[in-house]
Amino acid sequence: MDLIATIWRKARPKRLLMGVILSVCALSGHAAHAAYGLKLPPNFSISVFAKAPAARSLALAEDLGVLFVSTRHDTVYAVPLSDDDDLRPTYPVLRGLTSPNGIAWKDGYLYVVEQHRVTRYHVPSIDALTDAQPEVLFDDLPDKDWHGNRYIRFGADGALYVGVGAPCNVCSLSGYEGGILKFTPGQWDKPELVATGVRNTVGIDYHPTTGQIFFTDNGADGMGDDSPPDELNAMAAPGAHYGFPWYGGGEDRAPHFRLLPVPSGMIPPVVRFQAHVAPLGLDFYDGRMFPEEYRGDAFVAQHGSWNRSSPVGYLIMRVRFDDTGRVVGHEPFIEGWLRPNGDVTGRPVDLEELPDGSLLISDDAAGLIYRVTYKKP
């Protein structure tokens, strides 16, 4: 990592070689459209921003001029924002971790949630990446592989929200399993379980006007091609229950729990997506580049089905909200990673806005980060 910092400070690295198709894609948004067959609304363009192997969660450290990129393996990467190459270089900055999928940046700290613990690294400057050591904030998360990739986000209240998936397809839960934890800074050893009955929380974000937390949830497998729906949920009162395992998703009863009485007070989803589309990252758009009607709407990355007889998903969905923070509809925003013949060219995971209002999208299958821009006609 000393070498990484030296290169970053003293030299502009050469562009990474990605093969012919990626080199073509990096030239312009139109080239990316052509090579990947991606479809966007009029006047929107998409280009390749950087290459990042198995890119998952994105965390913008604007004060450092860095985009952090997580993986489900053992590495966290950094991409310098100041490099004006068409294809920016990517550097590994943390290694040897256990599925460091969940990352966030706040007040000079990089927060990393591994499968079993919550940590943070004090990073006052790029140079400090060479010596950053983890401060363990909490080390009692369920240490189980199944749905062990944690997703995190700071809320409008300054608390850190951490999703903890169920360690199964459909099963009874215990402890923090199938929930969302709220960590209040300074009280890291005392998380609050603010949502339960959530099979596999992935994207978490808050509405820019109301501050209300919303989160995606992946429905159960093995219930058929068209059941159960995947979900977008609105967080209600602390400790509210969202249905799992009595429901595999939406109001579709899970087979093993079909004959058991449903506890009262369960909260239904605000959006029922098609079954098996795998909604992951969630981002409420609060930038100024896109048309005004996009402000306050949410983008959801649909990672795509893995065992449906006919694949679905593999797109970015726009969820429209009214001025009160209520969902009024949803429709595809970017399509085309799933080709008409069933071939797949990428799997979107997470979304993050840049200061100029453009939108970044990670793709763990292609190992890419895309940038979506808008130009007024």
Query: Can you give the pLDDT at residue 32?
Result: 53
Q: Write down the residue that tokens 């400090």 correspond to.
A: 128
Query: Can you give the pLDDT at residue 155?
Result: 98
Is 151 within 8 Å of 102 (Cβ atoms)?
yes
Are β-strands 271-273 and 230-234 bridged in parallel, bridged antiparallel, or unpaired? antiparallel
**Domain residue limits, the chain:** 2-374
Q: Residues, the chain, total?
A: 377
Amino acid found at 172 = S
Show the 3-state SS of 56-82.
CCEEEECCCCEEEECCCCCCEEEEECC
Query: Can you give the pLDDT at residue 30?
Result: 39
pLDDT in tens, 307-344: 999 999 999 999 999 999 999 999 999 999 999 999 99
Kindly list the distances between the CA atom of residue 158 and the CA atoms of 107, 209, 266, in Å, as whole numbers in the listed order. Answer: 11, 15, 27
Q: DSSP of 143-161, one letter per residue?
A: --STT----EEE-TTSPEE
Amino acid found at 149 = N
For the chain, the farthest-separated pair of C-alpha atoms sits apart, in whole angstroms, at 66
Query: Can you give the pLDDT at residue 20?
Result: 26
Q: Please indicate, yes or no, whether the overall pTM of this predicted structure exceeds 0.75.
A: yes
In the numeric block, which tokens belong to residue 338? 């799933």
* Helix residue ranges per DSSP H, the chain: 2-10, 20-27, 29-36
Backbone phi, psi, residue 313, to 5°: 95, -140
Query: Can you give the pLDDT at residue 52?
Result: 95
Amino acid found at 13 = P
Distance CA 246, CA 134 (A): 38
- 10-residue averages of pLDDT along the chain (377 residues): 40 29 36 69 96 97 96 95 75 94 97 98 85 93 94 98 97 96 97 97 95 98 97 96 97 94 94 98 97 98 96 98 96 97 95 97 97 95
- Sheet containing strand 240-241, edge to edge, reads 152-154, 160-164, 179-183, 192-196, 240-241
CATH superfamily of 2-374: TolB, C-terminal domain (2.120.10.30)
